[in-house]
């Protein structure tokens, strides 16, 4: 058979992409409902409506499957605010995080994988690259602009400021309503006020690095 007669290849490629997407969605649903530790390839295959062999043709293990899913999620799409003021930038940064945190499914996945990453160095690296590093890179760009504008001290301890910014924005606790929805316990404006006061206090000590 000549190459010109192998027309099914394009369709097969499309099918493979469709199956891959189904498996990915099923794996995320399993993590959200059962958690990484309890997730099995059998359960993912059933949920995706595929044979288990279809999964192993793409990933050699559950670990490899989840690592790739984590690395490709849109968690790393953290926009860098550019409002012209630190207050406006922080408010935009908080608003983006709040919107993401309102997705209960994603919040469950992030919480579960974050806990698992403590025991799993490979997953921790993938999790950090996909989630922690983009958040901090965005925050660092925002802080540098504020220093250039004179809104933050030139001796800002960047690492400490980033720890405070990310923790107050992304890791703050949420309340669960009777209806099962997540809500923030603080008004956004108050949270922005606290973050601004915290950032201003993050000055480097003599002999320490400012990042």
- Predicted local confidence at residue 8, as pLDDT: 43
CA dist., res. 23 & res. 47, Å (int): 8
What is the 8-class DSSP label of residue 76?
Answer: G
- Predicted local confidence at residue 97, as pLDDT: 84
CA dist., res. 33 & res. 28, Å (int): 9
- Predicted local confidence at residue 2, as pLDDT: 46
With respect to residue 86, please indicate whether it lies within any of the assigned structural domains.
yes
pTM here?
0.72
With respect to residue 208, please indicate whether it lies within any of the assigned structural domains.
no
- Predicted local confidence at residue 211, as pLDDT: 56
* Full residue range of the structural domain in which residue 172 is found: 74-201
- Predicted local confidence at residue 210, as pLDDT: 55
> At 98, which CATH number?
1.10.357.10
CA dist., res. 136 & res. 187, Å (int): 23
| Distance, CA of 117 to chain centre | 13
Contact 175, 183 (CB under 8 A): yes
Question: In which residue ranges of the chain is pLDDT below 50?
Answer: 1-15
| pLDDT tens track for 151-168 | 999 999 999 999 999 889
- Predicted local confidence at residue 5, as pLDDT: 44
- Predicted local confidence at residue 75, as pLDDT: 58
- Predicted local confidence at residue 206, as pLDDT: 63
| Distance, CA of 94 to chain centre | 14
- State whether residue 128 is helix, strand or coil: helix
Outline where 35-179 has alpha helix (H). 41-48, 52-56, 62-72, 86-101, 104-117, 121-127, 133-148, 158-170
183 — phi, psi (to 5°)?
Answer: -135, 150
| pLDDT tens track for 69-100 | 888 776 556 788 999 999 999 999 999 888 87
Of the chain, the end-to-end C-alpha distance in Å amounts to 61
- Predicted local confidence at residue 170, as pLDDT: 82
CA dist., res. 113 & res. 37, Å (int): 9
Element (H, E) at 26: helix 8-34
Task: Tell me, yes or no, whether 65 and 80 share the same domain.
Answer: no
- State whether residue 130 is helix, strand or coil: helix
Element (H, E) at 200: helix 188-201
Task: Tell me, yes or no, whether 88 and 176 share the same domain.
Answer: yes
- Sign of the C-alpha dihedral computed for residues 44, 49, 50 and 52 taken in this order: positive
Task: Tell me, yes or no, whether 32 and 114 share the same domain.
Answer: no
Quote the number of domains for the chain.
2
CB neighbour list of residue 70: distance below 8 Å, 6 or more residues apart? 113, 123, 126, 127, 130, 131
With respect to residue 207, please indicate whether it lies within any of the assigned structural domains.
no
């Amino acid at each position: 058979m000549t190459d010109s007669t192998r027309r099914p290849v394009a369709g097969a490629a499309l099918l493979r992409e469709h199956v891959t997407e189904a498996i990915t969605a099923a794996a995320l649903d399993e993590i959200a409902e059962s958690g990484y530790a309890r997730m099995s390839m059998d359960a993912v295959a059933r949920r995706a409506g595929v044979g288990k062999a279809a999964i192993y043709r793409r990933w050699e293990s559950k670990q490899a499957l989840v690592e790739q899913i984590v690395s490709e999620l849109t968690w790393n799409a953290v926009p860098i605010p550019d409002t012209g003021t630190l207050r406006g930038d922080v408010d935009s940064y908080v608003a983006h995080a709040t919107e993401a945190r309102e997705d209960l499914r994603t919040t469950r996945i992030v919480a579960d994988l974050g806990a698992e990453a403590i025991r799993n160095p490979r997953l921790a690296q993938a999790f950090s690259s996909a989630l922690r590093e983009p958040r901090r890179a965005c925050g660092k760009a925002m802080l540098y602009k504020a220093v250039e504008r004179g809104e933050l001290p030139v001796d800002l301890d960047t690492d400490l400021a980033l720890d405070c910014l990310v923790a107050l924005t992304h890791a703050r606790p949420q309340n669960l309503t009777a209806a099962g929805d997540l809500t923030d316990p603080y008004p956004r404006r108050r949270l922005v006020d606290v973050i601004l006061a915290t950032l201003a206090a993050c000055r480097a000590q003599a002999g320490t690095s400012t990042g």
